[in-house]
Structure 1
Amino acid sequence: MNLKSRIQEIGSKKLIGKKVVMSFADNKTQQLWQGFMPYKGNIKFRLNNDLICLQVYNALPQLENFDPTATFQKWALAEVYEISEVPDGMEIFELPGGLYAVFDYKGRAIDFGPTFRYILGEWLPQSDYEIDDRPHFEVLGTKYKNNDPESEEEIWIPVKPKQ
């Protein structure tokens, strides 16, 4: 698989948005974004027009013993430079800074499974890094086109140097 990647250190980020608790078996991603998109314009002090899709897992994602019914939080967010005003029905999420492996993904989100398996099953074991227990996220920028095969997004996987 030809997947462009880089390692990047980021500072903490202030985010505002909505969340759902879901599993891969009970995927509520569409419901989350349908509840967020009509109200994203109410978020003041945005840093840019990018949207962030973020996952907080209860256990580190792994290929072996993968449980599609394990629940996690999924967020639809926008980054802000100030959190003094939070629109009704939305919450603040403060993303801690840290080291990330960033992958440029092109394709439909629904087709991401093989890429995720490649990252966890091949790229990560062959790298100098291991997965870290922090949120995972995707940056949906100007080239993101929802369910279009030409859609582009950045996949951010939290990592730390192998011990």
Structure 2
Amino acid sequence: MIIETKIIEKPSFSAVGITETIRFDTSLPPSENAIAELWGRFGKRIPEITDQLGWRSFGLMLQNPDNPPGAPFEYTAAVQVRQEGQVPEGMTRIEVPAARYIVLTLRGPLDGISDGFKHFWGHWLPNSPYEYDGGTHTGKYEFEFYDQRYTNPNDPISEIDLYFPIRAK
């Protein structure tokens, strides 16, 4: 369930994580899909990242806006880090540029996350004075943000934020 929608200007930040090409299997709920599996593998390796900033995890997505819906895309399970520091083997550092975002705060089990994406693409964006400003054309990421409000995939009071880069039409 969407509990808040706001527009913010977010400064650039650095993240380190594991990137994979994701091909969705729509027959699986979000808590069991390829992204959930990636988070399971990455979670075990988070202690290897020595320059973390607090409890901030990101699901970073850089999609090609020219691709049809359902096309494979790059997804990085990551944590925020200081700009200096070592990157563990098999991981990558991503510099996320500053951008204006619409932020949707969702509350409830993780399997409801697709409702947030559907709301953004199917309702909010077409009815707003903004257009999407992310993806491979601009280098701006859309992302899931997890902090201390996210407790576990089945918690009805767990919260996450979805960030979508936007610009005025």
Same fold flag (TM > 0.5): yes
Number of residue-to-residue matches in the alignment:
157
Per-residue CA shift, 1:98-126, capped at 9, x if unaligned? 11001111122222223321221211122
Percent identity of equivalent pairs: 29
Question: Structure 1: where are the runs of 5+ without partners?
Answer: none
Q: Does 1:55 align with 2:57?
A: no
1:155 equivalent in alignment to 2:162 = yes
Determine if contact 2:100/2:166 at 8 Å carries over to the other structure.
Answer: yes
Match of 2:137 in 1: none
Contact 2:51 2:85 survives alignment (8 Å) = no
Indicate if the aligned counterparts of 1:21 and 1:74 stay in contact, CA closer than 8 A. Answer: yes
Distance 1:140 1:28 in 2: 18
Q: What corresponds to 1:6 in structure 2?
A: 6
- The TM-score normalised by the length of structure 2 is 0.84
CA distance in structure 2 between the partners assigned to 1:7 and 1:58 by the alignment: 23
Aligned to 2:53, the other structure's residue is in SS state coil
Partner deviation per Cα, 1:6-41 (whole Å, 9 max, x = no partner): 111112111101011012237411221121111101
Q: Is the 1:60–1:131 contact (alpha carbons within 8 Å) kept by the matching residues of 2?
A: no
Q: Which residue of 1 aligns with 2:30?
A: none
Q: Give, in angstroms, the shift of residue 56 of structure 1.
A: 1.2
With normalisation by structure 1, the TM-score equals 0.87
In angstroms, what is the RMSD of aligned CA positions? 1.9
What are the Cα deviations for residues 138-163 of structure 1, in whole angstroms up to 9, with x where unaligned? Answer: 1111011231232101110110111x
Q: Which moved more, 1:124-133 or 1:26-35?
A: 26-35
